[in-house]
Structure 1
Amino acid sequence: MTDILEKPGAEPGAMDRAMVRQMLIENPDWVRRDAELLSHLAGAPDGVADLGRVVRDRLLGEVRDLKEQHRTLAYHARENLALLARAQSYVLSLMSCADLDELDYSLAWEAPSALGVQTARLYLEGATPMIVSEAIHPCGHGLVDELLGDENDFTGACAPRTGRTLYGEEMGSHALCRIEASGRTAMLALASQEADQFHSGQGTEILNFVARAVERLITPWLKES
């Protein structure tokens, strides 16, 4: 019997051909999964247009694209689950805040790493509940409506002027969420220097989850102030 493994260029004998044929019949996926082998086996004679090969090549390209899309979706799904877990843990930590001072510290120093952002800010319209603060700031009436319009939240690019106004420096993108607390309008703002971290059409469930927790916390504190 010809050793076709050691002499791949040799003409296989009848027994070798029969063996290979039987193996391929029993294991057709060996050929289907090997795009290069499949292409050679289905190739057309020289000078003959092979429309079938064109279609197969196109289908193989589409399969590769679908696999890449699947990998991308799986990656983003894992990232979202990890972010959700961090957000839940952060919200639980918020429950231990006893007053606005502790909330201010948490937003300034704990929220960025927990939520994967550069900066976290809370703006209160027409209220100055703290003399000195790092993350909780007063703002004029109408600022939230100016930035959000009729929407409850926003994710997308951060204009240079907006970045300097809200965060003291230019940011690539940010996420904003409206808060209503003790009859006052407020806004939670999360910003990143990465332009693609927040984008239009992005899901805002985690953002709203954190915003609603902050809303419940500050409502009684604002009534007292």
Structure 2
Amino acid sequence: MTDILEEPGPAPSAMDRAMLRQMLIENPDWVRGDAELLSHIAGAPNGVADLGRVVRDRLLGEVRQLKQRERAFAHAARENLALMARAQSFVLSLIECADLNELDYKLAWEAPTALGVDSVRLYLEGATPMIVSEAIHACAVGLTDELLGDENDFTGQCSDRTGRTLYGKEVGSHALCRISVGDQVGLLALAAREADMFHSGQGTEILNFVARAVEKRLGQWMTTD
């Protein structure tokens, strides 16, 4: 008969390990009474079990993880506050726009920096009130519903086809928000190169804040028959 203490066989199956675990839970003295076995389980040097050190190291590891999470939360909070401040400043600057040309310029060149994205576009279904524009464009009727469905906004990855259609290039992720000016509907679109910049379930308070401000300014220059 093989001496399993000298010539261990293959590793036990998952069922055998489960049975062994249950037996040890029900009979902890089997381990406590075997100093050599206890030292191997604890991973102590020189065959001396130091369970206090094991517990201490585990607690220190948990404390480090908590501190890392705390620093991450604090960093995210500072970034959100900074973003909100830039967004508010940008919205206030919209008051200075004298016409659609200035609004178009701000959306194309100032909004990306203020909102921390790569591209900002504003699409209006049907004819656009501008002949030449950089950020404000016309789009096909129904595009807003096609991209948003019944939702007011969307955050997540952007398909290559949608990226080329909305931004003229492929992007990693984007955020969309429905706008309505009189009888005309459309959407405000923000794009980022990073695939994780915008993701499902992300808060859209700042996006909607900017969209409503842009919507308000558009209403002052656009008329519907």
Name the TM tier (shorter chain).
0.7 to 0.9
Give 2:14's aligned residue: none
Cα pair 1:155 1:199 within 8 Å, conserved: yes
In the alignment, the residues of structure 2 paired with residue 210 and residue 132 of structure 1 have an alpha-carbon distance, to the nearest angstrom, of 23
In the alignment, the residues of structure 2 paired with residue 170 and residue 183 of structure 1 have an alpha-carbon distance, to the nearest angstrom, of 31
Spell out, residue by residue over 1:179-204, the C-alpha distance to the aligned partner (whole angstroms, 9 max, x if none).
11112111001111122221222211
Matched residue type, 1:182: G
Matched residue type, 1:175: A
Report the alpha carbon displacement of residue 142 of structure 1 after superposing the two structures with TM: 1.4
Give 1:144's aligned residue: 144
3-state secondary structure, aligned to 1:223: coil
Q: Between 80-89 and 193-202, report the one with greater CA deviation.
A: 193-202
Give the superposed CA RMSD: 1.9
- Within-5 A mapping of 1:53-92: 53-92=53-92
In the alignment, the residues of structure 2 paired with residue 45 and residue 101 of structure 1 have an alpha-carbon distance, to the nearest angstrom, of 75
Give 2:22's aligned residue: none
Matched residue type, 1:83: L
Give 2:183's aligned residue: 183
- Within-5 A mapping of 1:130-169: 130-169=130-169
In the alignment, the residues of structure 1 paired with residue 130 and residue 156 of structure 2 have an alpha-carbon distance, to the nearest angstrom, of 30
Give the paired residue count.
183
Matched residue type, 1:99: D
In the alignment, the residues of structure 1 paired with residue 80 and residue 44 of structure 2 have an alpha-carbon distance, to the nearest angstrom, of 48
Cα pair 2:182 2:224 within 8 Å, conserved: no
Report the alpha carbon displacement of residue 74 of structure 1 after superposing the two structures with TM: 0.6
Spell out, residue by residue over 1:68-120, the C-alpha distance to the aligned partner (whole angstroms, 9 max, x if none).
01101111111111111111110010111122111111111111112111111
Matched residue type, 2:188: L
Cα pair 2:158 2:171 within 8 Å, conserved: yes
Cα pair 2:90 2:111 within 8 Å, conserved: yes
Give 1:198's aligned residue: 198
3-state secondary structure, aligned to 1:122: strand
Report the alpha carbon displacement of residue 45 of structure 1 after superposing the two structures with TM: 8.5
Cα pair 1:179 1:215 within 8 Å, conserved: yes
Unaligned runs of 5+ residues in structure 1 are: 1-42
In the alignment, the residues of structure 2 paired with residue 117 and residue 105 of structure 1 have an alpha-carbon distance, to the nearest angstrom, of 16
List structure 1 runs of 4+ shifted beyond 4 angstroms.
Answer: 43-46
Report the alpha carbon displacement of residue 47 of structure 1 after superposing the two structures with TM: 2.5
Give 1:93's aligned residue: 93
In the alignment, the residues of structure 1 paired with residue 158 and residue 62 of structure 2 have an alpha-carbon distance, to the nearest angstrom, of 36
In the alignment, the residues of structure 2 paired with residue 175 and residue 105 of structure 1 have an alpha-carbon distance, to the nearest angstrom, of 20
In the alignment, the residues of structure 2 paired with residue 99 and residue 202 of structure 1 have an alpha-carbon distance, to the nearest angstrom, of 33
In the alignment, the residues of structure 2 paired with residue 178 and residue 169 of structure 1 have an alpha-carbon distance, to the nearest angstrom, of 21
Cα pair 2:123 2:187 within 8 Å, conserved: yes
Give 1:218's aligned residue: 218
TM-score (norm 1): 0.76
Matched residue type, 2:126: G
Cα pair 1:128 1:137 within 8 Å, conserved: yes
In the alignment, the residues of structure 1 paired with residue 112 and residue 157 of structure 2 have an alpha-carbon distance, to the nearest angstrom, of 18
The percent identity for this pair of structures is 74
Give 1:118's aligned residue: 118
3-state secondary structure, aligned to 2:190: strand
Matched residue type, 2:99: D
Cα pair 1:182 1:220 within 8 Å, conserved: no
TM-score (norm 2): 0.76
Unaligned runs of 5+ residues in structure 2 are: 1-42
